[in-house]
Amino acid sequence: MASGCRDCSTCTKSGLGKLVLKAGTGLLYLCTLGIAYVVKRAFRRHCPQCEHLLSRHARRADGSFRD
């Protein structure tokens, strides 16, 4: 897996921001017994480069990615 992509708001967060996001996400998955993880992986589209949600990537007005 690559280190990240420049259009992804998750990849471009600071280290502290990533830590808080991962802690909150881990708590959510723990509280829902992994059901939230399965639903997210099954029904949401992910970036092939960084594997984060495509909805968290910056796009131009025409819908194309900024890269």
Mapping DSSP to helix (H, G, I), strand (E, B) and coil, where does residue 32 land?
A: coil
- Interval 26-65: pLDDT, tens: 999 999 999 999 999 999 999 888 888 988 888 877 867 7
**Residue 3, pLDDT score:** 67
pTM over 0.85: no
Cα 24 from Cα 21, distance rounded (Å): 5
Residue 2 pLDDT greater than 70, yes or no: no
Q: Which residues pair with 22 in a beta bridge?
A: none
The Cα 24–Cα 38 span in angstroms is 16
